[in-house]
Amino acid sequence: MIHIGGLERNTLLDYPGRVAATIFVAGCDLRCLFCQNSSLVEGTVQEIREEDVLAFLEKRKGKLTGVCISGGEPTLQADLPDFIADVKSLGYMVKLDTNGTEPEMLRILAAKGLVDYVALDIKTSRTHYRELCNIDLDMEKVGESVRLLIDGSFPEYEFRTTVVAEFYDDTTAREVGEWLSGARRYYLQNFVDTNTTFVGRGVLHGRSREEIEAYADILRKTISEVSLRGIE
């Protein structure tokens, strides 16, 4: 059984090209300063029964074509492969959102052919990762996950970054571009300040569209497709 903390019943945003439902898994191993899902991260939400989610997906067959599994961090759940297998048995394509800290789980999912699309969050350059994630994480594991995606372990994938001004500049873009060299797809989205982040409102900031466009130009030197998402 996996720990489900939320369900978005219909979305056109979370799974590119598909009408999908998004399942939010409770619990995360990071404490990213900009995170706006603190209740999910800390596992304090009221959980939804796995069987209720599967029953909902059964009823929505034909109207929904995809399921996005997000978090929190889904790959921390030991029963994730079994749950995804149940979702796949209903005929859905599955997208997984992950922070990349559990490459062994990604290997298991890849070997079983359970995931059709992976979105891996790149927080910042490796130099500042631990500071932004607010924890002493193992960067080697994140690097393993990055290579799994670039090396083609999954049919479709993307990398994406929420641009926080205090942790992303021209130098960061160059370093991330070198790290993700050869990647197929990378999205930049801007940080939006709210009072639900771990640090509260007014501490962190986003960047202007012009600044983010400049980062994209830097990144395009080593990454095939770099786009802005949700930035006006």
User: What token pair was written down for 228?
Assistant: 């802005």
pLDDT in tens, 135-190: 999 999 999 999 999 999 999 999 999 999 999 999 999 999 999 999 999 999 99
HSE value, Cβ hemisphere, 13 Å, CA-based, for 54: 14
CATH classification of the domain holding 196: 3.20.20.70
Using left for φ > 0, alpha for ψ between -120 and 50, and beta otherwise, residue 212 falls in alpha
Residue type, 90: L
Domain of residue 150, residue span: 4-228
Residue 111, number of CB atoms within 10 A of its CB: 10
- Give the whole-angstrom CA distance, residue 36 versus residue 152: 31
> Cα angle vertex 116, ends 113, 122, to 5°?
110
pLDDT in tens, 40-87: 777 677 889 999 999 999 999 999 999 999 989 999 999 999 999 999
- The pTM assigned to this predicted structure is 0.95
- Give the whole-angstrom CA distance, residue 206 versus residue 204: 7
Any idea which residue has 């090396």 for tokens? Answer: 151
Q: How many domains does the chain have?
A: 1
Given a contact cutoff of 8 angstroms between Cβ atoms, the answer to whether 190 and 231 are in contact is yes
